[in-house]
Structure 1
């Protein structure tokens, strides 16, 4: 995986991408890892694209120090008054996506911006298509991203594959009825929590479809241990330790006082990581029993949280669900072969891909050792599924039932129930952070 990541990071730009951008009088380049000035200008463009203010030197240095692993693409306009500041940006890196029963290499995408002065010119389409072609050619079976705007990425074959739930809990009303965990809860410094989190996350993320490995620099940003961190003092960290001394859980949270009623203050769970059921119960019970807290909020949760069955009054929780982890299949045989199937079956997939990266006819032989073959014509006598690459990407992780997509008119098959049984998963997909 590290070889693929490094090869991708330094790979040359797609020829068709370069030619299309230059035909518009623009230039496209890869920002060199050691070029601080170009990285600063690239970061300035990203900040503008996400409605942030100008970065100071401390923030620029911290970004430079933590993002060398990323492939950073810049589109510049030589005719602009400030020609060195990009008018479009794109970042990606090699990651690993968890599927039901397996993991698969993934091209993770972030920092996608186009300046308002250069919208509606096809710049994003050319960037995305060119970089997806490069990722596919080098061997990434899938691409993944989290989106600030939900309506952008479907046209490129991405589908929301792991939804995220946000909970707002009336603490006094909820009342804990879950198990009493046998371990202990202790406070940690942010530095100690940041040091403990990576190993714990590695234990957890390989069991949860939709999760990816934590990108470089994210732990330091989450725990606010970087030099550019703001309001770091408001964060609190607790750990759950089992009776045998194993650290099985961490929670990062912050509180906000209620000036009108101090006993009705609020707490926000920034991140919760639990490797065991006991750690999960212990951490949530602690958070729901803190003194002076009337409202507890948590986001990026699963849409099927055990917490729902650990509180006496489920109406104490207001839950909203939104799209979160997006997935895009780049190599159908590699992607389908990387996950587990709990039933033996053989099904034909006729896949349409508007970008021409992963379309074709494929025969999936599911079972203990799944295999996928590309064929010219569907074999006679096998059930056939006709769908787009976005629909295939949506069911790959297990976040939506194929039967649901069939009823929505998003795929065609004579036997939706059969396809649904094949792609069923016992674990609900989740991605616990943004990237």
Structure 2
């Protein structure tokens, strides 16, 4: 897998920022002062509290293997806070039938003192050019705001569901699986989270690999979880004693009621029994009237496991954003559920995916070739192409929205081929 830390900063972005008196450079994470400055600027950009020393220490270790870039005033001393940040790394992205390398982008911030100066554009386009130069076919991110990234060719390709359950109304109708649930201490919780998620992420398109600090902070054994004292964890063991699912949650008092609300931070499972058992634990928990869980697959079976599905509120929202950089590599790296022979005219103002492409699927795998002479069956921009990529967004819906210029029959054939077996999902932020 490509080591992103070995990819130099993008010269086009560096020159654009230099004309504004700004320096665009890699952050030396071996320098405690430089690493701390990057972390503090990131926290400031996301409106977080000033990180304490113990948080800085674990975050320095967390960013050490990433490609961290800061934008600085040209005269800034070493150890000065950058006015903008971004970091990236290459991770496996699960796609139907396998995995492709993805350039993961995170920590995108611009100081309030440097807004509307093209700094964010330089950061994002610089990341895309760096990824393309490294031969990575797809870039991805999770977004705090939904209106920023479409202009760079990203699209919300992996929708997820936020579930809110009124436990007294919903009730419970499912049969208890044969295994058992046990509470787990926090160090073991971290280990179980990492192990189960690493298997689960291969079972659905849209998932990416986790990392040590993600699990440490979620399990509240690494500094920086503001709810650390409230974190609890349970896991499901099947009838053979194998861990098949893990759930992390916190409880909050309902004022004046001697009742509680449960917030599930992560529910990761590798079998249907594990999912049923852990949902059952949550919805039948004593003194809990309300359960919330975000980042759930949109085909989560919970509404079919309860007595009254009207007690389960499901709100679908965007989460995983993808951006195609190399059409043949990206679309040749996944499988398809139906034959397809279609010519797509793709518009990409940054040039990476621009062109006319013939995608031929005779037997589950695609042959993708540039076409200079054939008439296109469909026209779309790279953001729309990216939305379709892992099978979580309907071509027919995009056609109805005016995002895909194609006949109804062509849109339907794309859907038949691209649709994933299970709805794509992404259970973590990155």
Q: Which deviates the most, 416-425 or 168-177?
A: 416-425
CA distance in 1, matches of 2:240, 2:212: 31
CA distance in 2, matches of 1:344, 1:297: 40
Q: Deviations over 1:121-160 (max 9, x none)?
A: 1111111111211101111110110000110000000000
Q: Deviations over 1:33-71 (max 9, x none)?
A: 312111111111111110112222111111101221111
Contact kept? 1:67, 1:216, Cα under 8 Å? no
1:156 equivalenced with 2:149 (yes/no)? no
Aligned twin of 1:181: 177
Aligned partner of residue 133 in structure 1, secondary structure: helix
Aligned partner of residue 25 in structure 2, secondary structure: strand
- TM-score under structure 1 normalisation? 0.95
Aligned partner of residue 215 in structure 2, secondary structure: helix
* Aligned counterpart for 1:32 among listed residues 25, 28, 42: 28
* Aligned counterpart for 1:217 among listed residues 207, 213, 216: 213
* 397 and 369 in structure 1: CA distance in 2 versus 1, 3 angstrom threshold: closer
Q: How does 1:73-84 map to 2 (within 5 A)?
A: 73-78=69-74, 84=80
Quote how far apart the aligned CAs of 1:85 are: 1.4
Aligned twin of 2:393: 400
Contact kept? 1:304, 1:428, Cα under 8 Å? yes
1:120 equivalenced with 2:116 (yes/no)? yes
* Aligned counterpart for 1:354 among listed residues 349, 355, 367: 349
Aligned twin of 2:294: 299
Q: Deviations over 1:305-336 (max 9, x none)?
A: 10110011111112222111000001111111
* 261 and 410 in structure 1: CA distance in 2 versus 1, 3 angstrom threshold: same
Aligned partner of residue 254 in structure 2, secondary structure: coil
Q: Deviations over 1:146-181 (max 9, x none)?
A: 000110000000000111211111111111112321
Give the ranges of 4+ consecutive aligned residues of structure 1 lying more than 4 Å apart after TM superposition.
79-83
Contact kept? 2:33, 2:79, Cα under 8 Å? no
Aligned partner of residue 363 in structure 1, secondary structure: strand
CA distance in 1, matches of 2:260, 2:197: 30
CA distance in 2, matches of 1:18, 1:64: 25
* 351 and 34 in structure 1: CA distance in 2 versus 1, 3 angstrom threshold: same
Aligned twin of 2:340: 345
Aligned twin of 2:84: 88
Quote how far apart the aligned CAs of 1:84 are: 2.1
Q: How does 1:228-239 map to 2 (within 5 A)?
A: 228-239=224-235
CA distance in 2, matches of 1:79, 1:31: 16
- TM-score under structure 2 normalisation? 0.96
Quote how far apart the aligned CAs of 1:368 are: 3.0
* 254 and 111 in structure 1: CA distance in 2 versus 1, 3 angstrom threshold: same
CA distance in 2, matches of 1:84, 1:333: 42
| Structure 2 gap segments, 5+ residues each | none
Aligned twin of 1:14: 10
Aligned twin of 1:327: 322
Contact kept? 2:334, 2:365, Cα under 8 Å? no
1:309 equivalenced with 2:304 (yes/no)? yes
Contact kept? 1:72, 1:90, Cα under 8 Å? yes
Quote how far apart the aligned CAs of 1:79 are: 5.8
CA distance in 2, matches of 1:402, 1:61: 46
CA distance in 1, matches of 2:43, 2:228: 21
Q: When the two structures are aligned, how many residues end up with a matched partner?
A: 427
1:377 equivalenced with 2:370 (yes/no)? no
* Aligned counterpart for 1:286 among listed residues 281, 284, 288: 281
CA distance in 2, matches of 1:425, 1:12: 36
Aligned partner of residue 405 in structure 2, secondary structure: strand
CA distance in 2, matches of 1:170, 1:131: 43
Q: Deviations over 1:264-306 (max 9, x none)?
A: 3111111111100111111111111111111111111112210
Quote how far apart the aligned CAs of 1:254 are: 1.0
Quote how far apart the aligned CAs of 1:87 are: 0.7
CA distance in 2, matches of 1:33, 1:362: 42
CA distance in 1, matches of 2:211, 2:16: 31
Contact kept? 1:91, 1:112, Cα under 8 Å? yes
Contact kept? 1:201, 1:273, Cα under 8 Å? yes
Contact kept? 1:100, 1:427, Cα under 8 Å? no
Contact kept? 1:402, 1:420, Cα under 8 Å? yes
Quote how far apart the aligned CAs of 1:377 are: 2.7
* 390 and 297 in structure 1: CA distance in 2 versus 1, 3 angstrom threshold: same
| Structure 1 gap segments, 5+ residues each | none
CA distance in 2, matches of 1:68, 1:212: 19
Aligned partner of residue 273 in structure 1, secondary structure: strand
Aligned twin of 1:241: 237
Quote how far apart the aligned CAs of 1:82 are: 10
Q: Deviations over 1:342-362 (max 9, x none)?
A: 212211111111111221111
